[in-house]
Structure formats: C-alpha cells, structure tokens
Chains A and B, each alone.
Chain A
Amino acid sequence: MIRYPRRTLLRAGAAFVGASALGFPAIVRAQAEKIRIGHLTPLTGFLGVIGSYAQLGVKLAAEEINASGGILGKPIDLLSEDSINPATAATKAQRMLEQDGAVVLLGEISSASSLTIMQVAERNKKVFFSTGARSDALRGKNCNKYSFHCDIPNTVMVNAVGTALSQKGMVKGKKFFTLTADYIFGHDLLKAAKTFFGAHEANLIGDELIATDVTDFSPYLLKVRQAKPDVVCCNLAGNQVTNLVKQYAEFGFPYPLVGFNLNTGDAWAAGAGNLSGTWPTVWYHTLNNPTSQAFVAAFSKKYGKPPENHAWIDYITLKLLAEAINTTKSTDSHELITYFEKQAQFDIGKTRKAYFRNWDHQLVQEAYPFTVKPKDQMKDQWDMLVLGDVVPAANDPLETIYPTREQNPCEMKA
C-alpha cells in the first residue's frame, strides 16, 4: 500500500470541497450570432432554485422572439450564465459586454450581485435590467442611469403584506420578531419593515441577522420562543425561507409566521402542510388575463410544470426589451434609456399596464398579498396560494405603494 501523509490528504480534500463550494457555471449559449444579450442569474447557492426558473423563462422568451422573426430582423443570441456571487457576477458582466459583444444585460436575483452588475453597466454605458433584485437601495441611493429595476422593491412587499396584516388586526400594538438575511437585501428589507412598524404602532422586540449559508434554524427558533412575540416575520431569501418555513412547522410554535419576501418556488419547495401565514408576491400563474395565461400555457408545455415568478419576470423583461428595440430601431443605450424614460406602457400580464418610472427606473406595477390554501383544497402541488386583493386597489394610482421622491434618495447622474 502506498504511504501518504494524512495532512496531504486532508488538505487536498478541503481544497476540493472549497472548489465545489464555488460552483461550476452552467453555460447556455444560443448558436446564432446576431443581437447578443447577456443574462446572469444565480444557478447555485441559496438562490439557485429560483434562478433556474429565471433561466427557463428568459430562454423561452428568446425562442419565441426568434420564432417570430427576432429583433430588427435579427435573431437574439442569448448568453445565460450562473452569476455565482457578486464578484463573479461583475467579472462575467464585464466579459459579456467587453469580449462577447452583448448590447444589453439582464437578470440577477441577488441584490448584492445586482449592485456589482449595475456598476459594470454604468462603467460600460450599457443598459442593465435588474429583473429579480428587490433591495430599495438599488433604485435608491445606488441608482444609476443605465440600470432598470423590474421586480417590486422591498418597500412595496412590506406595504403589500403589511396592509393585509393590518386589515386582520395583526399589526397595531403587536410584538414582532424578525429573522433577517445578513446581506444588502435583508438589511434593506428590515429597514422598510421598521419604517412600517413605526408608522403602524407595532413593536419590534427582536431581530436576528442570519448568514446566507445557514440551513438549520433551531438555535434561532429557540431565541424566538424566549422572546415570546405576537408575530414572527421572515425577512430571508431563497431556500432559506423554505428551510425556515419547514422548521417552523416542525417546532409548531403558536405565534403566526408571516413574511415580507417569498418567491413561489420557495413556497412550492416548502410543500403543502408546512407553509402558512400571509406573504407578498409579484405574480402567480393563476392570474387570469390573456398575456399571463398564454405565457403559462407555453411554459407548461415546454417544461412540464407551471412557471415561477422569476420565470415570468425574466420572460417579460426580454419581451419588453425586444419591443423597445423594435420601436426605437436601435440597440443604442441612450436611445433605449430615452424610450423607457418616456414611461412607455407595457402589457406584463397584469390588469394594469406597467411602466418604468423616469426618475428611478423602477417598473411600476401591481403586487399581491397571498395566503395558503388548505391542503385538501389544492388541486396539485403547484396549486398552493390564494392571491389577495391587488395592491394598490383598482381605484388608486399604481405609484401609491412605491417610495416617493421624498422617501427615495435616487439621484441620476446625467
């Protein structure tokens, strides 16, 4: 038997584990080389599950656009890659713009990665559509002229759920305990939540910042129990929400669990019987309008399952970008920015049309609170959620749930 030092083996083993933690990028490249568009989204790590849906959505949009003649008569060449982490996301974004010749970037779910891509886009003077990042700071103090924000921001999610909770008498005078993701998105969501609690006479009696690699929440749940709150509020992201929801159901605490952030994919992953409470969402596949239902039918036919909200948002973003390029007959960044800043209206599969607000580049659109169906009423594993009333209500202007100019410190440089 060959003799070999134990330390060498362990060192090599640790190196392999470290290398695997970095992840291996999944690279999807379309073949045609015409109008090249770069797409980055997390396919590994705690946001990997919902990122996979985003990739499926954007690929479907590219196929549909190409099947109907492409953009300006040219097919889209979609480069879709795993963004992995903020540093890698920035490196890849730079490479896509500089070496691969992408004319526009879109995608991303992590607010931290989105922030670094925004900086790359600004430096290269290319447009970037941040499709799934929700931090207020991105469209606030960190906003820039080249970046557009498609998902609803944290403030809107807090307002959507907070309004629904207030109507149920679960806010005023109640003691809240929050569990918050320890990165820019979580910090930002907590800030929005604190503002809401302050304005509605709720008390925040405890908050735990939780690293994004935590999978076991039992020590945090013990701290929740020690604090004896009236309501527990989840400010986590990705599969951490799923883990918390499952473990909360496991411990069976009497305090209702609500949250200011949940993606449909995470709800499905939690499974029937584990999820309860009131949560926000930006879109759900049961929304009954022709655009949404056509997308759901095409997605389900192609992939054998209904789309998640990140599939939808990356799909509609590429569609509205194609519409913009065809209308302006240009892929020039300044032409596109000028077009979007005129607040052109887009059908995004909701009752009211959406538009990018010209001063912070936020896609202004409807949002929804939702609750969870009783298990015996679910038709299948996807039929979990019951959408509440749309926010803002049909008679109120869309912008009423978005941060105002006074609340949002965005200042675009010329």
Chain B
Amino acid sequence: MQFEFLLEQVVNGLVLGGYYLLIALGLSLIFSVGGIVNLAHGAFYALGAYVCVELTKRFGFGASVMISPLVVALLGILFERFILRRFYTADPILSLLVTFGLAMVAEQAIRMIWGAAPVSTEIPQSFRGSVIVGDFLFSRYRLLILAVVATIMIGIWLLLQKTSFGRVVRAGIQRPDMVAALGIRLQPYMTGIVMLGVGMAALGGAFFAPITTVHPAMGADIMTVAFVVVVIGGLGSFWGVVIAALLVGVVRGITIHFEPAAGEASIYVLMFLVLLVRPRGLLGERIEKFE
C-alpha cells in the first residue's frame, strides 16, 4: 500500500510538472533566442489569470481560458516591439532592470484595475471532482490541464523541429550572426517566440485561476519555480525544460510523501545537486554567445 501511495504522488507530481512547464518553457525560449532573462514573465501569468476571470463573467470559463492567452499574446507583441527589441544587443543588466521594472508596473496596474483584494472564479461543474483509475486518484480538472499541456508541447516540438520557423529559431539560438549573414532578420521570429512564451504563461494563469488565489502578486510567486526549472533543464534544450519541469514536480511530491515540511525546499536542493554535477543544466546546449 505504501508503494501505491508513493506512486500516486509520483503521478501527481508529473501532472504538476506539466503545469510548471507552461511557464518555464516560454521563459527558456525567450532567454535562448533573445538572451533576455524576462523577469516580467510572471506578470503575463498573472494577467492571464485576471483576464480569464474577467472574461468568464461574460463568456464562461471554457471560452475564456482560450481567449485569455490570445489577448495576452497580443500584449506580448507590444512588449517585444516596444521594449525587448531595444535590449537584444545591450548590456544584459539593462534588460534585467527593464523587465524587473515592468513586472512591478504590471503588478501595480493590476492593483489599480482589479483592486488589491483577490478575485475569484470556479471550475466548471463538469470538471469538478476526482477520477479513480485503479488505485490512483486524479483531479478531473488537472487531467484536463495535463491533456492540454501535452497537446501544446507536441505542437511546439513540431513547430521547432519540422517547420522553417523552427529551423530559423534553432539556428538563431546557436549562431545568430550566421543567420544574419544569410539575410534572415531574427526580429520577426523573436516576436513570434515572445507571443508564444507569454501566451503559454497566460494559459498557465488562466488554468490555475479557479484553483489558486488570484491576486496582484501571483506573478512573482510563480517566477521562482519557473527559474528553478529553466536552470535545471539547461538553456536551448526543449527536452531539458520538459524533463526538469516533470522532475521538479515529482521530487516535490516524493519529498512531501516522506517529509512534508521539506517539500518546498526539495526543489532547491535538486537544483543545487544538478548544478554541482552539471553546471550547464541537464540537457543544456553549449551556446556560443553565452560562453
């Protein structure tokens, strides 16, 4: 029985890892292609949640969870066009400062629009409750999230591996100078990557709005875990981030099973150990511009 309980935590950790992945993959892509640590990434996650709550009042949760990431992705165009674009070739400390400042501005803007008190929404009745498969119990709603995340990840993998867009992005990560020499401007691709990244973060916020407190500082809360996943996974590697997100979810679940009080600390211990053995992260590629 003890083993089954442990296995249940492992499976639950994989589901949670899928959710972390939504936030971390965009962060990793923006860093890998543009060389920018987007400290405002959490703000887009929070905006996704707030826009979803707002739209739910008019269109219901199902439609809102789809529209919200699209709205935030459009904001991502403005973010890339008017802010990020100016910092691709600048001293990295400037992009850190500007995205950090933007995160604070976004948090205050949310406070001004929706107020400091949390807003709430609830899961549609059809997705409430649990499903028991054999000895395992799953939240029906989290299974939905997992299915959506899996579909999106397959889509992004195909986009990066099988399309001309993906080829340019991958080349841009490794050799932006060579891409430029071939007469290809990376900036439109960067717009696409930012839209994709912040859209995924917004989708994460929208999906978690009914099961977590939707408050102005929620973006800052998620950033720490997202950073841990990116650091463990390594830069430039799609699968590195995927594996790291799932690993973080599983390690946290197993730790809580045996030593609940150490649950949150376990992911930092994991990061420490990975960096000790492999400073580049699990599957981090050697990227010339970062060496």
**Residue in B137, B235, B253, B263 whose CB lies within 8 Å of A6:** B235
Q: Do A271 and B213 touch (CB < 8 A)?
A: no
Pair A246/B12 contact, Cβ less than 8 Å:
no
Complex interface: chain B residues within 8 A of A1 (CB) = 35, 88-89, 176-177, 289
| CB–CB A214/B177 < 8 A | no
Residue B217 CB within 8 A of the other chain:
yes
The answer to whether A226 touches B223 (Cβ under 8 A) is no
Query: Once the chains are docked, how many angstroms separate the CA of A249 from the CA of B124?
Result: 11
Q: Which of B201-255 contact A (CB under 8 A)?
A: 210-215, 217, 220-221, 223-224, 227, 231, 235, 252-253
> A251 and B129: CB pair below 8 A?
yes
Contacts of A12 in B (CB 8 A): 37, 92-93, 96
CB of B161 closer than 8 Å to a CB of A: no
B90 within 8 Å of A (CB atoms): yes
In the complex, what residues of B have CB within 8 A of residue A199's CB? none
B141/A250 in contact, CB under 8 A = yes
Assuming A1-B35, A265-B117, is B212 touching A272 (CB within 8 A)?
no
Q: Are A49 and B215 in contact (CB under 8 A)?
A: yes
Instruction: From the candidates A3, A44, A213, A305, name the one contacting B289 in the complex (CB within 8 A).
Output: A3
Measured between alpha carbons, how far is A52 from B9 in the docked complex, in Å?
36
By beta carbon, the residue of chain A nearest B142 is A218
The answer to the question of B165 belonging to the interface, with a C-beta cut-off of 8 Å to chain A, is no
Q: Scan residues 208-248 of chain A and give those whose CB is less than 8 A from a CB of chain B.
A: 208-211, 213-216, 218-220, 222-223, 225-226, 239, 242-243, 246-247
Whole-angstrom distance from the CB of B165 to the nearest CB of chain A?
21
Question: What is the distance, in angstroms, from B135's C-beta to the closest C-beta of chain A?
Answer: 10
Contact yes or no, A219 B37, CB < 8 A: no
Given A1-B289, A213-B264, are A8 and B92 neighbors across the interface (CB < 8 Å)?
A: yes
Interface string of A39-71 (1 = CB under 8 A from B): 000001000110011000000000000000000
Partner of B13 from the list A210, A213, A214, A219 (CB cut-off 8 Å) is A219
Interface residues of B in 109-142 (CB under 8 A from A): 115-123, 128-130, 137, 139, 141-142
Q: Is A10 an interface residue (CB 8 A)?
A: yes
Among B37, B90, B104, max chain A CB count under 10 A is at: B37
Task: Contact check, B128 vs A250: say whether CB atoms are below 8 A apart.
Answer: yes
Instruction: Report if A220-B117 is in contact (Cβ < 8 Å); known contacts: A6-B290, A215-B212, A225-B137.
Output: no
Q: Is the CB of B261 within 8 A of A211?
A: yes
Q: List 19 A-B contacts (CB under 8 A).
A: A8-B92, A10-B37, A13-B227, A16-B39, A16-B100, A17-B39, A20-B104, A52-B117, A53-B117, A182-B261, A211-B261, A226-B8, A239-B215, A243-B211, A246-B122, A250-B211, A251-B137, A252-B128, A274-B120
- Kindly list the 9 A-B residue pairs having the minimum CB-CB distance in the complex, ordered from nearest: A271-B120, A252-B129, A269-B118, A6-B290, A13-B37, A219-B256, A239-B213, A52-B116, A242-B213
Extra inter-chain contacts (8) besides given A1-B89, A223-B257, A271-B122, CB under 8 Å: A13-B227, A17-B224, A20-B39, A182-B261, A218-B15, A219-B257, A247-B212, A272-B122
